[in-house]
Amino acid sequence: MFFFFTNTAIIGAFLRQWEVHGTKIEAVKKHDVGIVLSGMAEYDNNLQRLSVRRGTDRIWQAITLYKTGKIAKLFITGGSGYVSERGLKESLQFKEVLVKWGIPKEDVLIETKSKNTYENAVETKKELKKHPELISYLLITSGTHMKRSLACFKKQNLVCTPFSTDLHTAAGSGYYWDQYIIPNVSNFDVWNGLMKEWVGYVTYWMKGYL
The CA distances from residue 144 to 17, 19, 134, 135, in Å, are 10, 5, 27, 26
In this prediction, residue 5 carries a pLDDT of 96
The CA distances from residue 40 to 7, 55, 58, 116, 158, in Å, are 26, 5, 7, 12, 22
In this prediction, residue 85 carries a pLDDT of 66
Instruction: Provide the 3-class DSSP secondary structure of residue 197.
Output: helix
Q: Is 42 exposed, middle or buried (0-12, 13-18, 19+ CB in 10 A)?
A: middle
- Given a contact cutoff of 8 angstroms between Cβ atoms, the answer to whether 187 and 193 are in contact is no
Across the 210 residues of the chain, what is the mean pLDDT of every consecutive 10-residue run? 94 93 94 93 81 86 96 91 68 92 95 93 95 96 96 96 92 78 94 96 95
Instruction: Provide the 3-class DSSP secondary structure of residue 137.
Output: strand
The Cα–Cα gap between 62 and 70 comes to: 9
In this prediction, residue 46 carries a pLDDT of 83
Residue 92: its H or E element: helix 90-100
Q: Where in the chain are the domains?
A: 1-19+179-210, 21-167
Q: Is 75 exposed, middle or buried (0-12, 13-18, 19+ CB in 10 A)?
A: buried
Q: Which CATH number fits domain 21-167: 3.90.550.10, 3.40.50.620, 3.30.70.100, 3.40.50.280?
A: 3.40.50.620
In this prediction, residue 105 carries a pLDDT of 94
